[in-house]
Chain A
Amino acid sequence: MAGGLFNSNFVTLSSAMDASALRHRVISQNIANAETPGYKRKEVVFEDVLREALSPQELRIKKEDPRHFSNYPENIEDVQARMGSVRNTWITNDGNNVDIDQEMAVMAANSLRYQTLARLMDQNIVRYNIILKGTR
């Protein structure tokens, strides 16, 4: 789908929306386990990986053989959100490190981000409709 009629906006936006939905699921899991002894809060890493994938070509390691390792994801479709646990902090005596206020704040920010992305995706489709029909 990349290039040609449909540029990678669709791919970038949909993977960003997927990452945002995934982050929301992980935040929901953190909130559900706010009182579970020994639970460690989980986090999603996506934006940093995506930024690397979109970074200029000259910052990448030159590859002369397809078997060489790369320091960046090859294309945007390969960018996957990753989940990890924060293991080295404690909030309560039972080993739980979910800070409910922080989770609520991150959830609100993430919700705004998702709705912005959905709006952008919508506008993207509207733009193609204008081109295809010559009118809205």
Chain B
Amino acid sequence: MTVGLDVQRLMNNARIRLPGATDDAIQYALFTVMDDFFKGSNTWQEDVDVFVPGGDPAGTVYQLVTETSSTIDKLMWVFQKSTSPNFMRGPSISASMSTPGELVLTTQPSSDITYTATLSLTVQDPTTRDGYVQFPAWVLAKYRNVILDGLVGSMMSQPSKPFSNTTLSVFHMRKFNSKVAAARVEMMRNNTFRQQAWRFPSFSSGSQRGNSGWGGPV
């Protein structure tokens, strides 16, 4: 299997900074780093449509299944699926996901309705046959230096290895953590420059009926 140029660049950068580290060990650490990155930044999101029949009892659990090979981490928000071609989505609704993948609505609808749940995802096994963890390619292209910092810092924190280096590990992990926080903010703003991370609540521009809670970026 061919490994992409961006992955080769990441691996080469890691190899240069980690004398004595094997590719297997780097790939193993990469899985953990990507898990930390996605859980901290929420950059990997997927919309899942959920059909809810009217009349289901309160507390009904709806299973959320993603299309990608991934693990569900968080429920970001749930919106009613838009029926209009002019709007991306309908009003937001209140829901929870105590167990990842199990959606529970606060209020059951009285008629059939389709909701769109936005999920934050993280990596999962299996990796590719080459041992590389799978995640969207754009993440590596956009955050290559963040991932490299996490990878190098994580490897350098291992004890009694040729590449062990406590000082540099702390340095790289600090950079990684701060960049993960920055990535989280970027994602909240939909990667749009100077977009505010908040919006006026829905009651300020229309009806006060129904749920008016914050429902994620507009």
Q: Do A and B bind each other?
A: no
Instruction: Show the binding face of B for A, using Cβ within 8 Å.
Output: none
